[in-house]
Structure 1
Amino acid sequence: MSTIANDITSSLGLTGAPRAADKKAESLGQADFLRLMTEQLKHQDPLKPMENSAFLGQLAQFSTVQGIQGLNATVNGFAGSMATDQLLRGATMVGRDVLLPSSRVALPAEGDTTGIVAAPSSGMVTFEITDANGLPVRQFTVPAKAAGEVAFAWDGKNAAGERLPAGPYGITAKHVTETGTSSNLGTYVRGKVESVSVGSDGLYLDLEGLGTAPLSHVLRVG
């Protein structure tokens, strides 16, 4: 699972605006350009004055730079609006179930924890549940009738039939074909979204018992 980036405040634009003195030192304004042009005209060689084409070329370059600066400001404003809109849309996912790749499952206080695997062919898929110390607590098998999605559900009980405490548990899956060929499978588990956060690289979901995952990892929303 991924963790949230440490630059959330900067991505939200909450780090404070730069000082006016800093902005002035970074770039030349229109007045600075006109002052330079005036000084250039005052100190040119009277016998070799600046040609009109060179003067017009400098004006065109300044106009182009101004246009690029204006475009950058527009793009930055649009990016900020998109980030805000993304957060608002992500807030609608709070309280919903999502399906995403994970090597852990979150066992609720009551009921099952569920998910799927992608079987490469028909056969049997064996799941192993482990506790926080990596020790096996339960193993169960689900048949795969054909290649594709195979759903699984763990009732939260150990090998002795005792209900285990709620919390995160590890999970692995192994597929065995009818000819005995085995392969490890990635597991996709269902988790409930508790909150949404914004990082510099996009939206992150805070999942109950599973930690944090980027929105791009979500395969399905329930």
Structure 2
Amino acid sequence: MSNDISTSSSYLDSLRWQDTTPTTTEEQSDALTQEDFFSLLTQQLSFQDPSKPADNDQMIAQMTNFTMAEGISNLNSNFESLAASMTSNSALQASTLVGKQALLESDSLDLNATGEAKGSVVAESPVDSLTLRITDESGQLVRSIDLGSQSAGAIRFAWDGKNEAGERLPEGEYNIVAEGSTNGEFSSLPIATFKNIESVNINGANGIIINTKEGAVRLTDVAEIA
């Protein structure tokens, strides 16, 4: 195999100093400027019939229309600049979310080094005998928490990371189920727990997207950031 390096490639040639200065052509704009408008207005006045001069109201209307058109064009440019600025600000604000926790609907708890896992039970109506059951990866029950009777709404809870014997359990993911009696009928209730935000995406159509180990979700769908 030859180790020679060719120096005659078009890419390398493009990097070398060019002896000739490239000529530039001034781009012509098709947009009418204020100077063009007054030139047209002057031509219109010079060719008008002296016996039927243009009405002052018509002249004022033409000037007003041109001013409005120019104003709308400038307004569009300002909106484009504003949109670019808002996108930059959104990206900066989104970057501060990384490392924080988002409250998302989930049936799992993340027990970390803080020694506590928090969440909320969502009850559409008052619930009696509300009980939380926490199990490990093998499905073994490690802790049962009695929350008693609760009114409708978001019912906050916190688990200290200990089992029934008061022993500290290892960090990791645990499953959780909320059960209670609503209107005399015993059933499971939806749960929202805090998940670590690993990264964020800026999407023009969907806004800010946050990514957790359970998937991606829009920031507008997050109930709380902690």
TM range (shorter): 0.5 to 0.7
Give, in whole Å, the separation in 1 of the partners of 2:61 and 2:215: 58
Which one-letter code corresponds to 1:102 in the other structure? E
Q: Distance in 2 between matches of 1:24 and 1:184?
A: 67
Query: For 1:165-194, what per-residue CA distance to the aligned partner results, in whole angstroms no more than 9, with x for missing partners?
Result: x77x987655314x6324653321211111
Give 1:35 shift: 5.3
- Quote how far apart the aligned CAs of 1:67 are: 1.7
CA distance in 2, matches of 1:141, 1:182: 17
Moved more, 106-115 or 55-64: 106-115
Contact 2:94 2:200 in 1 (8 A): yes
Match for residue 175 of structure 1?
180
Q: Distance in 2 between matches of 1:64 and 1:53?
A: 16
Q: RCO higher in 1 or 2 (8 Å CA, sep ≥ 6)?
A: 1
Map of 2:74 onto structure 1: 70
- Give, in whole Å, the separation in 2 of the partners of 1:174 and 1:91: 37
State the distance in 1 between where 2:145 and 2:39 align.
Answer: 81
Question: Of the candidates 83, 90, 94, which is equivalent to residue 86 of structure 1?
Answer: 90
Say whether residues 1:151 and 2:154 are aligned partners: no
Structure 2 Cα separation of the partners of residues 138 and 187 of structure 1: 19
The alpha carbon displacement at 1:94 in A equals 0.9
Stretch moving more, 111-120 or 51-60? 111-120
Letter in 1 for 2:190: G
> 2:55 matched to which residue of 1?
51
Aligned to 1:216: 220
Q: Is the 8 A contact 1:125 1:175 kept in 2?
A: yes
AA aligned opposite 2:218 = P
Alpha-carbon distance in structure 1 between the residues aligned to 2:160 and 2:89: 37
Q: Size of the alignment, in residue pairs?
A: 189
> Aligned residue for 1:12?
none
Distance 2:214 2:45 in 1: 69
Contact persistence 1:174–1:185 (CA under 8 A)? yes
* Structure-1 separation of matches of 2:214 and 2:117: 12
- Whether the 8 Å contact between 1:98 and 1:191 is mirrored in structure 2 is yes
Q: List per-residue Cα deviations over 1:67-126 (Å, max 9, x = no partner).
A: 222222223212221221121122112111121x32453757987764211333242346
Which residue matches 2:105? Answer: 102
1:188 equivalent in structure 2:
192
Q: Which structure would you say has the larger Rg?
A: 2
Structure 1 residues 70 and 121, CA gap change in structure 2 (3 angstroms): same
Verify the 8 A CA contact 2:121 2:190 in the aligned structure 1: yes
Contact 2:110 2:195 in 1 (8 A): no
Structure 2 gap ranges (5+) = 1-25, 164-168
SS in 2 for 1:95: coil
Unpaired runs of 5+ in structure 1? Answer: 1-19, 131-135, 158-162
Q: Residue in 2 aligned with 1:133? A: none
